[in-house]
Chain A
Amino acid sequence: MAVRDPGERLLRRRRRVWSYLVLVGLAVFFLFPLVFMFVSSLKPDGQILSDLGGWRAFLPLGDISLRNYAGVFDRVPVGRFLLNSVIVTVAIVGAGLVVNSMAGFAISRLRWTGRGVVLSVVIATLIVPFETIAVPMVYWVSQLPTLVLQHGQIEYDFGWLDSYQVQIVPFIANGFSVFLFSQYFSTIPTAIDEAARIDGAGWFTIYRRIVVPLSGPAFATVAILTFLPAWNQYLWPSMVVQDESLRPVMVGMQYFFQDNTAWGEVMAYTSMITLPVLVVFLGCQRAFVSSVAASGVKG
């Protein structure tokens, strides 16, 4: 670096101070609602309202307790809602990793008739927002066959409404995940496959024993990108799940919110389902950031 004259250094320092002022202002803008939410969840309703006028709205002062949280648990089976959301999310992410990575493997590393067509169709599915198919899909899943255990016998029935599978199965396959996997897999040298073939390994073994272990970053990216929408599902379960025992957290919260004006408890509920995601995010923010950046290659 060349030696700069003092005037320029002063200019640079002034610019840096301005940058920090703007950044801090923006940080306040992005954080104040969440700070307000967490702080309010600890206060009785009367105090939340009386604190609104000043800085105390953002500070955990006064009558601080976890009573609102206990209130939420008393009023609704929120533990059950959390469990439902965990089941649905784990199933979508887990099954999605297997199904989409196998498809990505077949598309990027195997030669078979129809491969080009399949890849084009997979890419084309990316343009369809879920909102466009939500209404016909309700009709569609209400017609699908299902197996039920009745009087010790397995019987046919129709309609997937009010079940776990209706919340899980439609979201397992994901065109974008297939695309990301096939992109990543095609960077692994194919000479490895040749060698394994000569040693007598089947294609599935090559996928499972060689390609999957070498593709940790791709799996992490897809897991992160599918985790958030699965956890945050709202429109779909609000249409297809009426049964309270199958309800996921987001829909449960909306019901709770609709017939409740106790803001302290509402804030306790929202805090409760935000905190775990926030902890996961802050714990692996680097992986989150690079996953989102990877999603920018789309289009």
Chain B
Amino acid sequence: MTAISPPDTRATSVAPSSVPRRRIRADLRSERRAGWAMVAPAVLLLAAFLIVPVILGFVLSFTNARLVSPEPISFTGLDNFVRAFTADPTFVRSLLNTFCFAAVVVPAQAGFGLLLALLVNQKIRGAVAFRVIFFIPVVTSIVVVSILWKFMYQPDGLINSFINSITFGAWQGTAWLNNPSTALAAIIVLSIWQAVGFHMLIWLSGLQTIPEELYEAARIDGAGAWRQFRDVTWPCLRSTRVFVLITITIAALGLFVQIDVMTQGGPVDATSTLVYHAVRMGYHQQQIGYGSALSLVFFVLVLIVALVQRFLTRDKD
């Protein structure tokens, strides 16, 4: 994250010299007090419900804390992490599933979103209507979306009926969510369906900042559509690209609701994810310490991803 200094919009305002010094000082004091008072509620709430939980999560990761326990909490060092990576095959599987999900969703969703943005950015009638339609799944709750797609993925559901009728019965489809080899792929499809409209809009706002003159100049130089995209659009979208990739990656690593609603991690852990497993251990099995340790693994991944993407996309062009 780049360092951001507060905009000092009032730096140039100098009090008239006729005002007595004491009044200026009193005025500054009241301004300082007002500043503290007005920022206090937000700062206290962020401290209590964001900063404290982050620190608490870090501390609990090294303990055997349970949600309800007669025994006092004791420090267990790195035991939770050792257990996760050596004695908890479901965790390792969850980690791999999460990476697999992100590896597919990040490029697919970013690319699909860009394609949609290019399509609705054309100067054609109805472009706004299409933009609205592509965005509708984003305002639909992911819980609703998960239930709806679970219905469509049923062995005798809409998807299989459709496959059956377009292949004239030659291919029967499968029980998508009950089959370990298709369950994660099925969840990938609906996840992209739900979220891609959001990134279409982000790409679109990036596209609209590109000055039309650049395209005109490129056309005069004889650049076709592909050359215009490669040499004008793509380089101009650098900062948008960073933002889109970071937000999709972080969201993908945090995959939870679809799993909780549709598969509960099954069949045979084929769809268990990092966050799902952390909630299962930390909340359902009440092992707060172990769950916190798994959440910390997730947090470290998020930080690494943010740093790596920052690094890779720094002033390359």
Chain A positions near chain B (C-beta within 8 angstroms): 16, 19-20, 22-23, 26-27, 29-31, 33-34, 36-37, 49, 52-54, 57, 99-100, 102-103, 105-116, 118-125, 127-129, 131-140, 142, 169-173, 175, 178, 182, 186, 190, 193-194, 197, 202-204, 207, 228, 231-232, 234-235, 238-239, 250, 253-254, 257, 263, 266-267, 270, 273-274, 277-278, 281-282, 285, 288-289, 292-293, 295-296, 298-299
Contacts and interface: CB of A to CB of B under 8 A. Distances in A.
Contact of B53 (A23, A137, A292): A137
A110 B34 contact: yes
Contact of A19 (B42, B49, B119, B137): B119
Nearest to A253: B143
Interface stretch (B89-97, B100-108, B124-132, B178-186): B124-132
A140 B38 CA distance: 26
B148 A37 contact: yes
A288 B135 contact: yes
Contacts of A112: 31-36, 39
Contact of A127 (B1, B124, B134, B243): B1
A169 B156 CA distance: 44
Nearest to A143: B56
Interface stretch (B200-208, B210-218, B226-234): B200-208
Contacts of A263: 151
A103 B42 contact: yes
B133 interface: yes
Given A110-B35, A134-B295, A282-B132, A140 B147 contact: no
Contacts of A267: 148, 151
Nearest to B55: A136
A32 to B, nearest CB: 9
Contacts of A128: 50, 54, 299
Contacts of A131: 254, 256, 275, 278, 295, 298
A111 B133 contact: no
Interface of B: 1, 3-10, 13, 27-28, 30-36, 38-39, 41-46, 48-54, 56-57, 60, 65, 67, 116, 119-120, 122, 124, 126, 130-137, 139-145, 147-149, 151-152, 156-158, 161, 164-165, 193, 197-198, 201-202, 204-206, 240, 242-243, 246-247, 250, 254, 256-257, 260-261, 275, 278-279, 282-283, 288, 291-292, 294-296, 298-299, 302-303, 306
Nearest to A224: B139
A142 B288 CA distance: 12
**A111, A115, A118, A207: residue with the most chain B Cβ atoms closer than 10 Å:** A111
A170 to B, nearest CB: 4
Contact of B298 (A20, A132, A207): A132
Contact of A296 (B4, B60, B206): B206
26 contacts: A27-B134, A102-B39, A111-B10, A112-B31, A112-B35, A123-B1, A129-B250, A129-B302, A132-B57, A133-B54, A135-B282, A135-B292, A139-B292, A142-B67, A170-B49, A173-B50, A203-B35, A253-B143, A254-B260, A266-B151, A270-B144, A274-B140, A292-B201, A296-B240, A299-B243, A299-B247
Contact of A122 (B27, B46, B49, B279): B46
Contacts of B52: 140
Q: How would you classify the secondary structure of chain A's contact residues: helix, strand, loop or mixed?
A: helix
A204 B134 contact: no
Given A30-B133, A34-B140, A263-B151, A173 B201 contact: no
B31 A289 contact: no
Contacts of B282: 135, 138
B41 A136 contact: no
A36 B158 contact: yes
Given A20-B124, A135-B292, A142-B67, A103 B151 contact: no
A289 B256 CA distance: 26
10 tightest Cβ-Cβ pairs between the two chains A and B: A112-B35, A173-B45, A136-B57, A135-B282, A103-B42, A203-B34, A293-B205, A170-B49, A110-B35, A133-B53
B152 A36 contact: yes
A89 to B, nearest CB: 12
Contacts of B42: 99-100, 102-103, 122, 173, 178
Contacts of B205: 293, 296
Contacts of B43: 103, 118, 121, 173
B139 A53 contact: no
Contacts of A194: 13
Given A102-B39, A138-B67, 9 more contacts: A23-B120, A33-B149, A34-B136, A127-B1, A132-B302, A139-B67, A140-B56, A173-B45, A299-B243
Contact of B256 (A99, A142, A170, A235): A235
